[in-house]
Chains A and B, each alone.
Chain A
Amino acid sequence: MILHRQPRVALGARNFFLLLSLVIASFAVRAAAGGFDQAIDRLQPRVVKLYGLGAGVQAGYGSGVVVSEDGLILTVSSLLIDAKVISVVTPEGVHYTAEIVRRDEKLQLALLRMTKQKSDQNETWPADSPSFDPVAGLFPFFDLACESVASSAQSSSLQPGDWIIAAGNAFKVADGPEPVSIAHGVFSARTRLDARRRVNDFPYTGEVLIIDGITSNPGAPGSAVVNIKGEFVGMIGRLVISNQTHTHLNYAIPRSVLCNFFLQAQGEDGTNDSTRSRESHEDRIDLGIKISKTGYRTVLPYVERVKRKSLADLAGVRKDDLILSINGRNVPDVAAYKAGLNRLDPGEPIEIVIRRGRVIKTIFIETKGP
């Protein structure tokens, strides 16, 4: 594997100073925390800048993660890749065009392939340039290692409070051969995404990694996220607003989800599992609860009627119960209650919290899988 060549500035002077600081040890000027080095070193050669279609607040630039040595790029599915020509700029400033291999609107993910080098008037490279030759296929990349069990173990070994480092083209600060921007923070929590873009609910409702560094910026979607050792843990998803807090959410799509998408994209089978399972599931959930439609200001989800021998009835839901939450998620009104039911996966155990008079009760309902 070829070593990545990072654009270097004043290498001579830099080494000189390093040498100097080593020699005159007692006057060290560099005692800064360099503990993020390894992660940054792995990130920067493996993240590319993307340029494409932009409109209004939708940035015409973005980020992508190189996931194969022949130039497959994982990124988000957005307006950007609808451009006639998707431009890819590698960390050393070489321009490529890319084509879409696959996109999934449910997951809001896309897989691109770098095709050919782009030449323009000022910047042309001969065949023997130090840049990477797409035909020979020698891009530094993150190996998703989807087949190995270790990869899922690695992703789940990430615990809340652990450092994470992200790299991407947010605000297109980095230009040409410049390395992309870094962001650091800690992994906050795992949660299921419940978010929206403008007025529309965001289609992806699976697991995400919440992070406390700010990643909800134009151009950031498609950034790679690694742990302190530089191991790939996820990719920054599209910009969304959390339904739970009404704040811009900083999150990454976990490696396991990316893997599923990547394997599908690689496979011959063109069907889209994530879409199929969810859509077909929505029709099947029937707990046998009818919700009251009356109420003041907000329509509170009071149970009006429970169908006899229904799942809810057998589990102990009663008329006039007020439903507070479904699977840990607050349901302040009827709409939220319905959304909560729709969010459920087939076979997922349901935990409903109800209030009956002054008593708060938790009721468990187990549904059958598909």
Chain B
Amino acid sequence: MLGTSEISFGQISAWVLAAAAIAFAPGRVDAVTPAESVLKAQAERIAMIDRVSSAVVAVFDTQQRGGGSGVIIDEQGYGLTNYHVVAGMLDKRKGLGGLSDGKLYDLEVLGIDPVGDVAMFRLVGRETFPFADLGDSDLVRVGDTAIAMGNPFTLSDDYSPTVTLGIVTGIHRYQWGVKGNLTYTDCIQVDTSINPGNSGGPLFNGDGEVIGVNGRISVNTRGRYNVGFGYAITSNQMRRFIPALRSGLVAAHGTLQATVKLDQNRETVLAEMLPAGALSRSGAQLGDRLLSIDGVRITSPNHFASVLGTYPGSRNVRVLIERENTKTESIVRLDPIPPKMRKPYIVDQEVNDREVRRVLAAFKGSARSDDTAEPFESLKWNVHRTHFALADRDVKADQLFAARVTTEGLFLTEHSPEENETIRIFSFDGKRATQRREGEEEFDLTTDRAMVLAALDLVFKTLMKPPGDTLPGNVRHAGGDAVFFERMKDMAGDLDAKAGARYLPAREAEVITWPIGEDAQARLQFDMDSHDLLRIDLEDDPSGVRVSLDLHDYEASGVLRLPKTIIVSGPGYRYQDSLSQWRVDP
């Protein structure tokens, strides 16, 4: 059966004619009208992209060869990128950052995390910079919208980022590193188009929050092009490293000095442990079941490595162990693993000092309301039912204390409420801590008590006097840590109590180390978000005595925001003090 198109023929020709009828109306083809919901969602996405793309940086070295990407996360121009993007700029720690305003800004390389492939930079040249918010990457789910921005193949002439859309295609992924560095642990996998040059650029969720930094892709035989497999370091991992990175440090990752294996019930149990290692020190034993780290349930040996890889060294984590049906939660300080580097990375002191000043200023920013810009000369407060671990005898339960800090030093006075007269005065002048009683000889306090006074002195001095251009010698920003508070009975919403949790979820803190006298050192830990001073740890080197002060329940009190609760822990004791009243003498 044969025919040509000229002869109308059977089924095929009929099909052709039908097609002609449908498709071939001459003239301009009309646009179509999609559903309102589609247009609305598109408009919102366009608005979101417009909003956050100004925070995306095209990162170059000073010669503008090649390049990567980055994202600004605060208005001072601090931003995140990959370590491998800045690795070639470490000699001078200088580069260039292009923004979507079409301008190139000078870029200063700050701290680096070679193991986690993260680095921090600062752009200079503008009063304030547009920035994007870091989201909570623990909320990311497979299937979520994932939008990448950056400068793939350095295509951008005007430094406007390339925006690509995809979804999250895997979470908690582990991607091996190169000789211990550039390891992607617990990372987010996306099918968003990510290509060379996207490195260091942000991965946004549908709300325009940064949930990760894109740094790696899988490639096939085609070469270095996207094939739908991109990996991003999570925002929550980076958040833990930001304090160290901002202050110009080389970040070390942490280890528990232990390995786990799966037992017959497919639970993770401790398989190996270094005797003096972090986990061992906490009292864990081989064969114990390791249930969770910081509330994250550990499912496999790989997962264990993946979760741990997201933590800096010398940082506290909550570890939940089960032995013979008893669950024990403890705070374990991770041992640091210094990264392997060809050349030592010398900390830029100026960068570090800047961070110390920023943290202290922010602390005061939270502690003082805006209308009292002037430093004040003295600070007083009244204390009920306190001991401060100072009074060695005869302290009544309702004894009233009054503390006063001046530029001269710290004075703690014990009053008798009935007769309203001074009983004792404790004082610390920066070197010596003494106790004096009416009609008695002055004597030095024991080391731990002196340290408590020194700590209080430090707190209130930093409250009273903002640091000027010159900092006290050897005050350093030492990165970040997690501050855990023990669960208290009156705390509502005891969600994790069933799992045997003793501690509240961590407060991420920045750590300032402050030498006291010749031998002692204080670690001041400030909340990263509220800037409140959360804890002071003091250690006296020769004696090995350690005390710590926890400061809780910050409240506005007049012009100040001050803690209502102070917990003093020393060798063998722990006291909780409620402060009833604060007063400031301008």
Contact = CB atoms under 8 A, between A and B. Distances in A.
A7 B302 CA distance: 13
Contact of A183 (B3, B228, B262): B228
Given A29-B136, A174-B170, A364-B9, A182 B143 contact: yes
B320 to A, nearest CB: 11
B12 interface: yes
Interface in B141-194: 141-145, 166-170, 172-175, 189, 191
Interface string A1-22: 0000001111111101100010
Interface stretch (B214-222, B371-379, B571-579): B214-222
Nearest to A247: B222
A9 B264 contact: no
Interface string B292-313: 1001110111110000000000
B165 to A, nearest CB: 10
A362 B4 contact: yes
B11 to A, nearest CB: 8
Contact of B266 (A12, A125, A217): A125
B296 A314 contact: no
A30 B132 CA distance: 16
B300 A177 contact: yes
Interface in A214-260: 214-218, 248
Interface centre among A214, A351, A364, A365 (most CB of B within 10 A): A364
B145 A33 contact: yes
Contacts of B286: none
14 contacts: A34-B144, A37-B141, A57-B221, A122-B262, A170-B218, A175-B302, A178-B173, A182-B191, A183-B169, A213-B228, A217-B228, A315-B2, A316-B4, A349-B12
A125 B264 contact: yes
A89 to B, nearest CB: 12
Contacts of B189: 173, 181
B82 interface: no
B244 to A, nearest CB: 25
A217 B226 CA distance: 11
Interface in B24-68: none
A37 B144 CA distance: 9
B413 to A, nearest CB: 45
Interface residues of B, number: 59
Given A34-B143, A129-B265, A216-B220, 20 more contacts: A9-B303, A10-B292, A10-B295, A12-B295, A13-B138, A29-B139, A30-B144, A31-B206, A32-B145, A35-B143, A93-B300, A124-B264, A171-B218, A174-B173, A178-B172, A181-B170, A214-B228, A216-B227, A315-B4, A363-B4
Interface residues of A, number: 63
B1 interface: yes
Interface in A54-70: 57
A11 B495 CA distance: 12
A61 to B, nearest CB: 13
B299 A33 contact: no
B553 interface: no
Contacts of B12: 349, 351, 364
Interface string B386-412: 000000000000000000000000000
Contacts of B209: 29
B423 interface: no
A82 interface: no
Contacts, number: 166
Given A182-B142, A248-B222, A9 B3 contact: no
Interface of A: 7-14, 16-17, 21, 29-37, 40, 57, 93, 122-126, 129-130, 170-171, 173-179, 181-185, 213-218, 248, 311, 314-316, 349, 351, 361-366
Contacts of A37: 141, 143
Given A12-B297, A29-B135, A173-B170, A130 B266 contact: yes
B499 interface: yes
Interface string B75-86: 000000000000
B13 interface: yes
A184 B191 contact: yes
Contacts of A33: 143-145, 167, 206
Given A13-B296, A32-B145, A181-B189, A366 B173 contact: no
A254 B451 CA distance: 75
B10 interface: yes
Interface in B106-160: 135-136, 138-139, 141-145
B296 A10 contact: yes
A17 B295 CA distance: 12
Interface string B184-210: 000001010000000000000111010
A367 to B, nearest CB: 9
B229 interface: yes
B262 A32 contact: no
A29 B207 CA distance: 7
Contacts of B10: 364, 366
A124 B143 CA distance: 32
Contacts of A351: 12
B220 A218 contact: yes
Contacts of B264: 124-126
B5 interface: yes
B261 interface: yes
Contacts of A7: 299-300
A176 B143 CA distance: 21
Contacts of B141: 30, 32, 34, 37
B299 A364 contact: no
Contacts of A31: 206-207
B442 interface: no
A183 B168 CA distance: 9
A364 B496 contact: no
Given A183-B191, A218-B220, A12 B144 contact: no
